[in-house]
Every structure is written in structure tokens, then in C-alpha cells.
Amino acid sequence: MATIEEALEIERIERDIFRGAKVQSQLPRTFGGQVAGQALVSAVRTVDPKFQVHSLHGYFLRPGNPEHPTVYQVDRIRDGRSFVTRRVTGIQNGEAIFTMSASFHIGDTGPEHQDEMPVVPPPESIADPTAALSAERLWMMREWENWDIRVLPQEEVTHRPGLASQQQVWFKYKHPLPDNPIVHVCTLAYMSDMTLLGSSKVLHRDEPTQNASLDHAMWFLRPFRADEWLLYDQFSPSAHHGRGLTAGRIFDLKGNLVASVVQEGLIRDVRPGTPPGPDA
């Protein structure tokens, strides 16, 4: 299936208009991480390289068609001395399917602190995830065959008291990536939509639901590499009215907190005549 370079490829049509590449996919709708990643790449192309993206906030408005490319319109909201802001709208067939605001920062000095990384088994100790999957799930995993994704068994998750639902996932891109930090940021933006909604289904795995990302916010906190192991420490504080709220902290192998993510997703009961979405 598509490499991350293919999934994030965009073509400049006009000064602030870009077209994302159409990539081979088995999914019935365009993967949300691909739309978010292409939108972020589009925003980056309009910003001076001395500014680094530090946050994004996106809304998935309509399901994208993987058979069609997406066009991205970038609005230059603000160009300041320390911060730059861009708004990006992803469009298919004349309709907005995604909108995102991205903020860029030139970088400053100041106080520092971070949460402690949970103590979890190393990624190599987690069994190959493809070994115990059904044929249907193996077919779905082909969509992300260039990623190594290892979900910790629930008995090995570091559970924190008072949290309703937790999940922990080791992941990395399998192939070496360029040293350019923005490549790793956009790759992580693509990946951050994987597995997170699943933390809202940990307590409800036997309940068939229709699943989809609704909105997605992300903060990039420290340098990292997406082609090295990262721990996605996820939890879901609430599920109600067919929506699941999820959050995740991403750590590197040295324990550095490199990113934080919050997402709300659709996890409603399957309506008559509607096939359930793929397991989140």
C-alpha cells in the first residue's frame, strides 16, 4: 500500500491552493490521518521554514472519497514575529470535507517540565500483531503495512486509578525517513489518527458500532523521529450520545513527551441496514 511519502504528496496549483495525491486504499472513505497530514503539508508550504508547527485543530466534516484527490485552500490568517497561523480547507467535488487551523512558532526559551512516561514492556516484547488477527483484520492492516503498530495486551497496560478506559500502543514507521523535522511532524500527524478512537472501545469491544473521527487536536512539544519507536499512551474519559472522547500522550524511547492529542469520534450503535465501520 501507499508509503508515507506517497500519502503526503501534494501539488501546488496556485500560490495558496494545493492538490493532494490520490493513493491506493482499501478503505471505503479517505483515511482521516491522510487528510490531516496533507492539509498540514499544504500549510507548511506557505510558512517561512524558521517557524515550526506546534499545534493543529481539525474537524472532519464529510467522508472523503479515496478515489478522488483532495484540493486544499490555505488562508494566511496571521504572520507575526513569533507566531504564524494558517487555516486550511480540504475540498472534494466543491464541498468542504475537512477544515484545520495550524499554528507555527519560531521557538523561545522558558521554564520546562513534563509528565513521566508510563512504565510499560518494551516494543520488541509485544508479539507480532499480525500473528493472531482474523483474515478480515489482516486485510485491514495491509492499509498500514509500512507501520509497525503493537497494541499492548490489557493485562500489560499501566492502568492509572480513576481513568475509565485506557490503551497503550507502540508504533513507528518501518522505513528510514529524512532528517527534516517537518517530515516527522507531518508523518506523526498522519499516524495520530490510528488506534486512538480504539481507546473508547476498550470496554465495549463486543458492541458493533459505526466509527469515524469527528475532530482532532494535536500539540507538538519536543523533537522526535517517527521512524523510531514511540509510545502512544491513550485514554477515553467519556463515551455518551454515540460519541467517544479520547486523548493520548506520545513519548519517545528516552521518556520525552513529544506530542499530545485529543480527539472526539463517532461510536454510535449500528443503525439497521448500515454496516459497522472497521474496528477503531
243 Cβ partners below 8 Å, 6+ apart?
Answer: 214, 264, 265, 266, 267, 268
Whether 213 is a known active-site residue: answer yes
Instruction: Return the C-alpha torsion angle 201, 206, 212, 214, nearest 10.
Output: -40
Catalytic residue among 42, 103, 192, 213: 213
Q: How far is CA 146 from the centre of its chain?
A: 15
Detail the DSSP E strand segments found in the chain.
Answer: 10-14, 17-20, 52-60, 71-79, 83-92, 95-105, 147-151, 166-173, 209-220, 230-240, 243-252, 257-269
Whether 200 is a known active-site residue: answer no
Nearest to 104 by CA among 135, 76, 132: 76
- DSSP state, 153? P
- Paired strand residues for 83: 105
Catalytic residue among 42, 168, 193, 199: 193
Whether 16 is a known active-site residue: answer no
Instruction: Return the C-alpha torsion angle 110, 116, 121, 123, nearest 10.
Output: -20
C-alpha cell of residue 210: 459505526
Q: Give the active site residues.
A: 193, 213, 263
